[in-house]
Amino acid sequence: MGPSLPPGDNHTSAKNKIGEVLTAPPVQRRVDLFRKLIKDLSEDPVGDPNIPNVLFETNWADDGVVRDEDFTRQILQSFKTAHVAEWNRLLQSCTSNQCELLQKFTDNGKLEDIARDVDFDVIRGSRRELQDMESAGQVQLPPPHGAERRRRNWLDSFKGTLSKLSFLCCYLRRATIIPNVEALTPVCPALFQGKSTKLNSITEIGPLKEDPTKSLVRVGCATTNEQFRSWCIASKRLTLPLNVIMVEITFGGSNAPICHGAGIKHQTLSDLVYAIEYVDANAKVQKITRSDGDFLSAASGCFGLIGVVTHITLIVDQMTYAIMRPKKLPVIDAIPPPERLRSRVPPALYQDRTPEAIQRAQEEFERRAAHDYYTEWFWFPYADEVWVNTWSTTTDSSDVKEYPSKIEIATQWLQAIAMEAAQDLARDTMTEDLLPMLRTSLVSRLAMASLPAEEEIKTWLPDALHFRRAIQNTRVRDLEVEIPLPPGPDDANKPDFSIIQHAWWEAIIKAYEHTKNCPMRMPLEMRIMGDSNVVMAPQCGNKLGTCAIEVLTLQSVAQFWDGFAQEVLDEWMKLRQWKGQELNIRPHWAKEWQQFTVGGKPFQDYLKNECYRDAIPKFNGILDRIGKQQHWERSDLKRMFSNLLFDDLVFDDIH
């Protein structure tokens, strides 16, 4: 074991060692230095009692591989042992049976045994945010469904006094509780599957007349991705061609802000809508279908402004099977830096490459981007490698298997809980800024170790789309923009992928410029997708495709986030002027953007006066025509369904 840190100079020595790790040449020397750093810190973890020593167990420094389940258990055990008050607060935020799960797991219980014994349908629970809002008088939550008398009194007390009313289309417990257990449904459906209601129903309607190879499926707005995934796997016949990764989200939740998946041939989820049913401002049930001309181009992605959506009819494909061959590639090869940025590549990531090797890496990146069914790249901060998750599909069902497995799902769920516990501990002990590089590197190593590579995984398409489960349980900050792919220099009908490389590497370079606080502690993620026919979609008009790129961090380091994210955004927005072309870069509606600026002006002004300058009048014109046919007016929408943002963006002509 390496020598301990010199007394009296612990912080400086640790900083120097972290600096060595940061700048050491890859790959083996960095690994060796990292192991030595962990060994040194395990003897004297910077002399600070707030740092949980158990996190620096010697087996992290050994050559052996630490199992995901065991590492997660170590994290939780360290919190439970060293910070009793914080552990008890974590348990107080859980239901009694969730507490039982965590207690058994930290007492070395096996995942497969624990998962069978847990019943999550016991009591109502709420996120801290809702509880704080209720305490502050900003929101009044109804009593549980069983307390009918109390519910009647609650309703009577607010008659004629409500100025704002939020509609919750799934059970309050399910919508607000953390940890959320939707992802655990495959582990034991009898315990974790939600109750059936009219608003989470799934009904197959039949083949699409215009294209019999596709079918129509009607889903309730409260149907979760996990419910629909399970339904698709059970039928083995139908599937959505694309989706978001998260299984906990409802279809109402992913439809309203125009969410998307990945793959240059795929549009947004809202582009798959064949019909939408809603309750309008006059309390009448209405329906809009593709037979209504261009109405759906506004209604299928309207942020809930037309009314309370109850059901959505989607166009689905015949079941296919993903052949996943994920890889972990050196950062310099996965998405090669453009020539202009190669001199700025951080020393820790730089590796010499011959011109021929650079060309091969470029061709492989462009092949994946242009031809694979699904295309996604992850870089975890300060990691040597990128996780490349691009794949194609087949109609051959032989040797198809469940992915992730039940044990992998349970492991992922507990990892998410451990991450959330780590955030709570850092916040409660005010240690977010201690050893940021070490903390970030440990998280990145754990994340990369948990991801598959170099093995072929053949699974149902819905399983491949939802390859990570339980991500709902980790609170993050997230900035995402949609960058149009411009025409290439040699062929105006083919995209110029080099703009993606610029956006990708500018974010990585920024991460290395901020190693003092490490404001980016979750991955840089990039997906390539198509355009959209939805008027308010960020991808609308991007005929050659879209680069959806985002940076994330943990909620516990929010104090460092805004400044860093603004710098990244500034670099991305410079790409609007691309080789003599003007590109319309837009934010993902469901991610962060409100607090940032573009060209020194509020982002909201940029939306209204620049990037959606033409789309907003078109959107309003379609709403006017829908209202005329269905007997409501835009003023009704503003009165009933708008908020301050859309009052300004969409309804500023109504007073």
Average pLDDT for 471-484? 86
Contact criterion met (CB below 8 Å) for 238 and 232: yes
Distance CA 151, CA 167 (A): 16
Place of tokens 């019943």: 119
Angle between helical axes of 561-573 and 498-513 (0-180°, round to 10): 150
CA angle 383, 388, 391 (to 5 degrees): 170
Name the residue with tokens 């298997």: 401
DSSP three-state, residue 518: coil
Least reliable range by pLDDT among 238-242, 438-442, 638-642: 438-442
- Both structure tokens of 635: 């003023």
Q: Residue 565 in contact with residue 524, Cβ under 8 Å?
A: no
CB 385 within 8 Å of CB 404:
no
The lowest-confidence range among 176-190, 209-223, 403-417, 476-490 is 176-190
Phi-psi region at 293: left, alpha or beta (left = phi > 0; alpha = psi -120 to 50): left
Q: How many CB atoms lie within 10 A of CB 579?
A: 11
Beta-bridge mates of residue 107: none
DSSP 194: P
Cα angle, residue 187 at apex, residues 261 and 125 outer, rounded to 5°: 80
Half-sphere exposure at residue 620, Cβ-oriented, CA atoms within 13 angstroms: 18
User: Six-digit token pair at 255?
Assistant: 């439809």
- DSSP reduced 3-state for 209: coil
In the block, residue with structure tokens 């020194």: 600
**Confidence class of residue 240 from pLDDT cuts 50, 70 and 90?**
very high
Binned at pLDDT 50, 70 and 90, residue 435 comes out as: low
- Of the two residues 7 and 527, the one the predictor is more confident about is 527
Look at residue 119 in the predicted model and tell me its pLDDT: 42
- Is residue 475 scored above 90 in pLDDT? no
pTM of the model: 0.79
CA distance 91 to 95: 8
Model confidence band, residue 487 (pLDDT cutoffs 50, 70, 90): very high
Average pLDDT, the chain: 80
The per-residue pLDDT for 29 is 47
> From residue 46, how far is each of 9, 54, 445 by CA, in Å?
9, 14, 21
Mean pLDDT, rounded, for 47-74: 44
- Place 441 in a pLDDT band, splitting at 50, 70 and 90: confident
3-state secondary structure 450-493: HCCCCCCEEEEHHHHHCCCCCHHHCCEEEEEEEEECCECCCCCC
The amino acid at 427: R
Q: What does the DSSP 8-state code read for residue 3?
A: P
pLDDT band for position 403 (cuts 50, 70, 90): confident
Q: Are 268 and 297 in contact (CB under 8 A)?
A: no
Q: Which residues pair with 330 in a beta bridge?
A: 385
Q: What would the pLDDT profile of 582-597 be if each residue is shown by its tens digit?
A: 999 999 999 999 999 9
Say how far apart CA 467 and CA 593 lie, in whole Å.
Answer: 27
pLDDT tens-digit series, residues 264-273:
999 999 999 9
Does pLDDT of 180 surpass 60?
A: no
Report how far residue 189's alpha carbon sits from residue 9's, in angstroms, rounded to the nearest whole number: 55
**Contact indicator for 411, 111 with CB cutoff of 8 Å:** yes
pLDDT tens profile 513-561: 999 889 999 999 999 999 999 999 999 999 999 999 999 998 878 899 9
Decide if 219 contacts 202 (C-beta within 8 A): yes
Strand partners, 260: 268
Dihedrals φ, ψ of 433, to 5°?
A: -100, 10
DSSP code string of 157-187: HTTTT-S------S-HHHHH-SS--GGGTTT
**Averaged pLDDT for residues 198-223:** 94
Contact 421, 554 (CB under 8 A): no
Among residues 242, 237, 160, 248, which one has the least CA distance to residue 200? 248
Q: How confident is the model at residue 405 (pLDDT cuts 50, 70, 90)?
A: confident
CA dihedral 160, 165, 169, 173 (to 10 degrees): -100
Which residue is listed with tokens 């959606």?
A: 612
- DSSP letter string, 84-118: HHHHHHHHHTS-HHHHHHHHHHHTT--HHHHGGG-
Amino acid at 243: N
Contact 247, 597 (CB under 8 A): no
Nearest-5° Cα angle at 298, 297 to 299: 105
* 356 has a pLDDT exceeding 70: yes
* Gyration radius (Cα) of the chain, Å: 25
Report the amino acid identity of residue 322. A
Q: Under 8 Å CB-to-CB from 420, ≥6 apart: which residues? A: 178, 179, 473, 474, 475
Residues in the chain: 655
Residue 623 Cα distances to 590, 596, 630, 637, 641, angstroms = 21, 29, 10, 10, 13
CA 635 to chain centre: 34
Q: Which residues contact 162 (CB under 8 A, 6 or more apart)?
A: none
